[in-house]
Structures are given as C-alpha cells and as structure tokens.
C-alpha cells in the first residue's frame, strides 16, 4: 500500500479498462553523423483495437545517458552531449498509429543538429503501448 | 469469461476516474494558429488524454502529446481551461484535424466533482483489467524556491511503471491543465509560461521546472499519475 489511505470506488464516474498491449523495440548505434544529418529507424507492430486511448511507456538505454531512462508520451525528445566534448545529437521518438487501423509504428530519429561530426553509441529503445477504453464501453 | 487468472484488481489502489469524452475538429487557415474551444459541461478542469488525426476515422492517429511536425501539421496543443477544452492547430496548409479527448478527474478532487450521468453506469467486472493508480499528486511550484529545481517522487516497485504528467497554471482566472511530452536534457516549453521536464528511473519520478520566475499562482504546478502494472 502506498500513497492512499482509503480506496474510493465512485460509480458516479467510469473507470477505464485495458483492452490490449503492443510492444516494439529498436536498437542500433556505432555510426557517425555529420552536422545536420539524421538517421531514422522504424519498427511496426499490429494491434487489434482501432479505437482506444493509449498510455505509452518508453525506455531508452544509451551509454551517453548514463543508464536506462523511462519516458512517457508519444513524442519524446532527448538531447545530450557526446561524452568528452561539446558535440550534441538528439533523439526524437514518435509513436503513430498506422494507416491500417490498429497498426503502430515506432519511429526513432537521431539527428545531429549542431556543428561537427558526432558518434552515436549503442542504443536501445523499447516502447510499450497499453490500450484502454472507458470501462462501460463494449 | 476469458481467463479467471486474469483478475488482478487491487483495492489497495484507486481507479482513475473517467468523466467524459469530448470530440471536435479544427480546420486550419494556412500559416495561422486556429483554435476551437468546446464546453465540457464538467464542473472541474479535467486531466486530458486523447488522440488527434487528420482523418475522421482515426485510422492514422497521434497522441495529443505529439505536438506537430507530422502530417503537415506544425503544432498541436490541447488545454483544458476551466469548463472548456481548447484545441490549437497550426499548419502551412488548410488541414482538418479531428480530436478525441478523454477527460479524467484530477487526483484529490474525486469527492468534489459533480456527478456526470452519462458515465454513471460503471459496473465492476472482474474479467477486466482496470487502470489503477499506484501514486498520484500535484506538485505546486510556489512551494519550491525559484530557479532551476527538481521535485522527486519516490516509489518502491521492482519495475519501472507507466506514468503520465500534466502541467497546470491559472489562465484568464481559470485553472488550466495540459499534457506535456517527455524530454530530458532539452527543456520543454509549455504553451504558456512554465517549463517542465520529467524523467523516471528505477526508484523515482523526477519533475523539473526551469522557470526562474517566482509565482504565487496556486494552480502552477504538475499533476502526475504513476500506474500499477499487471503481473
């Protein structure tokens, strides 16, 4: 028990229930990006629920981040310094539902928007999309 | 009955309460920000979740935390201001954007929010997995010093849980709440004045405010919800 001293179930309102889950993963690294260049990675996954709202859980592991970090939201931006100098690159992580209902795309763009060339180390991006609908829906 | 072993409801934790779905559409004038406001009929400012799409069937859709740079849309923001939901869209083209927005009751306000009769038919069904809140709250910026600072919300779990964060402040005399997308190392600039970023590691949620301005606004802060995870 943490955070609450009583449980309130208020039937004046609706709860939300889970109807599915989608997981996707992208990894890469060990390449150089010149100033202004970017690399894009895509992964797709199917889900059988077309109408739902989603809670995103994104984990990024990159040696420049000093370990694993967790993010939420469907668009995440990370920016950090390449170890040992003042060059930068950033991640832009977008999850979109695809043109076929229920299909999801995880897109990770790594961009060097600063001067000079940067080296992108090994990275792993894991995304989990949990799908919910109002509990009283069919 | 799908599988009797699926029942994982825990009365140790509360349910986030869903009050209403609001839909609207915004057709942009090229190179301008176009706004549409919809009355919720709710007696409180909700926490909003939801999606937007450039097609009415939502076959290709984005979470409202995706704030543009896709589908020829330059920017998207959704803000609950008192009893209205304001949707702002800008594009270099004439585009129609459709919204489905789910209104949740902020933590701590469940007892004070008036009943909403179109969702008052909740029937608990132990075949379902419900979204449950492990921990939630509101961090009020005025309780902390000015300048760059972090507020840490500790938790004790053997996994990194799901979570969501919303920023809040007073706009035109009303409490306004909007979802923020996550970032680290880069400051997220809100539609208004606060600058908030957040990150979670294996034992704490860290909320950071980069605003250097002192505030007396009782509504300026961050709502957060950390959710339980099914086994």
A75 - beta bridge partners? A94
Q: CA-to-CA distance for B175 and B177, rounded, in angstroms? A: 7
Let me know: does B217 contact B138? Beta carbons within 8 Å: no
Let me know: does B140 contact B47? Beta carbons within 8 Å: no
- Chain A hits for B162, CB-CB cut-off 8 Å, are 55-57, 72, 128, 130
Q: Which of these ranges, B4-8, B119-123, B219-223, has the smallest mean pLDDT?
A: B4-8
Question: Considering just the CA atoms, what is the radius of gyration of chain B in Å?
Answer: 18
DSSP for residue B115: P
Q: CA-to-CA distance for B78 and B11, rounded, in angstroms? A: 32
pLDDT of residue A76: 83
Q: Which of these ranges, A21-25, B77-81, B140-144, has the smallest mean pLDDT?
A: B140-144
In this predicted structure, the answer to whether residue B60 has a pLDDT above a threshold of 90 is no
For testing contact with chain B, the best of A6, A10, A47, A86 (most B CBs within 10 A)? A10
Between chains, do B67 and A80 touch, taking CB under 8 Å as contact?
A: no
Which residues neighbour A109 within 8 Å (Cβ) at sequence distance 6 or greater? A38, A39, A40, A41, A91, A92, A93, A94
DSSP for residue A2: -
pLDDT of residue B137: 92
In this predicted structure, the answer to whether residue B174 has a pLDDT above a threshold of 90 is yes
The more confident residue out of A112 and B107 is A112
- Chain B hits for A51, CB-CB cut-off 8 Å, are 58
Q: CA-to-CA distance for B31 and B92, rounded, in angstroms? A: 5
pLDDT of residue A131: 87
Between chains, do B128 and A135 touch, taking CB under 8 Å as contact?
A: yes
Q: Is A124 on the interface with B (CB under 8 A)?
A: no
Between positions 51 and 80 of A, the ones with CB within 8 A of B are 51, 53-59, 65, 67-80
pLDDT of residue A68: 82
Instruction: Tell me the C-alpha to C-alpha distance, in Å, between residue B5 and each of B8, B50, B129, B230.
Output: 8, 30, 11, 12
pLDDT in tens, B143-169: 887 776 788 999 988 888 889 999 899
The more confident residue out of B194 and A132 is A132
The alpha carbon of residue A82 is apart from the nearest alpha carbon of chain B, in Å, by 12
pLDDT of residue B108: 73
Residue ranges in chain A modelled with pLDDT below 50: 1, 4-5
pLDDT of residue A67: 76
Q: What was the ipTM of the complex prediction? A: 0.81
The more confident residue out of B76 and A134 is B76
The mean pLDDT of chain B is 82
Between chains, do B199 and A71 touch, taking CB under 8 Å as contact?
A: yes
Q: Which of these ranges, A109-118, B133-142, B203-212, has the smallest mean pLDDT?
A: B203-212
DSSP for residue A63: G
pLDDT of residue A87: 67
In this predicted structure, the answer to whether residue B188 has a pLDDT above a threshold of 50 is no
For testing contact with chain A, the best of B183, B226, B230 (most A CBs within 10 A)? B183
The alpha carbon of residue B104 is apart from the nearest alpha carbon of chain A, in Å, by 9
pLDDT in tens, B14-36: 788 888 889 999 999 999 999 99
């Amino acid at each position: 028990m943490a955070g609450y001293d009583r449980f309130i179930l208020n039937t004046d309102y609706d709860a939300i229930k889970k109807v599915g889950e989608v997981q996707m993963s992208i990894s890469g690294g060990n390449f150089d990006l010149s100033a202004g260049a970017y690399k894009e990675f895509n992964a797709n996954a199917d889900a059988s629920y077309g109408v739902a709202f989603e809670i995103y859980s994104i984990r990024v592991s990159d040696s420049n981040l000093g370990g694993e970090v967790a993010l939420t939201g469907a668009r995440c931006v990370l920016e950090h310094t390449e170890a040992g100098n003042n060059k930068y690159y950033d991640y832009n992580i977008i999850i979109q539902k695809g043109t076929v209902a229920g299909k999801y795309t995880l897109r990770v763009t790594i961009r060097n928007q600063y001067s000079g060339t940067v080296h992108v180390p090994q990275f792993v991006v894991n995304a989990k999309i949990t799908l919910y609908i109002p509990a009283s829906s069919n | 009955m799908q599988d009797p072993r699926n029942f994982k409801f825990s009365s140790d934790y509360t349910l986030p309460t869903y009050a209403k779905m609001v839909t609207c559409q915004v057709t942009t004038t090229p190179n301008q920000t176009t706004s549409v406001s919809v009355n919720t009929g709710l007696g409180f400012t909700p926490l909003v979740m939801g999606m937007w799409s450039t097609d009415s069937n939502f076959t290709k859709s984005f979470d409202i935390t995706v704030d543009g740079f896709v589908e020829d849309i330059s920017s998207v923001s959704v803000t609950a201001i008192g009893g209205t939901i304001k949707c702002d869209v800008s594009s270099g083209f004439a585009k129609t954007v459709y919204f489905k927005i789910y209104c949740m009751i902020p933590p701590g306000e469940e007892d004070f929010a008036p009943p909403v009769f179109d969702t008052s038919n909740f029937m608990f069904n132990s075949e379902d997995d419900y979204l449950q809140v492990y921990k939630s709250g509101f961090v009020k910026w005025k309780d902390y010093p000015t300048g760059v600072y972090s507020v840490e919300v500790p938790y004790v779990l053997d996994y990194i849980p799901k979570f969501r964060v919303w920023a809040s402040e007073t706009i035109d005399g009303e409490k306004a709440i909007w979802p923020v997308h996550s970032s680290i190392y880069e400051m997220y600039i809100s539609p208004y004045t606060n600058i908030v970023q957040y990150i979670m590691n294996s034992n704490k949620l860290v909320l950071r405010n980069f605003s250097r301005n002192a505030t007396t606004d009782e509504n300026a802060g961050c709502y957060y919800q950390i959710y339980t995870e099914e086994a």
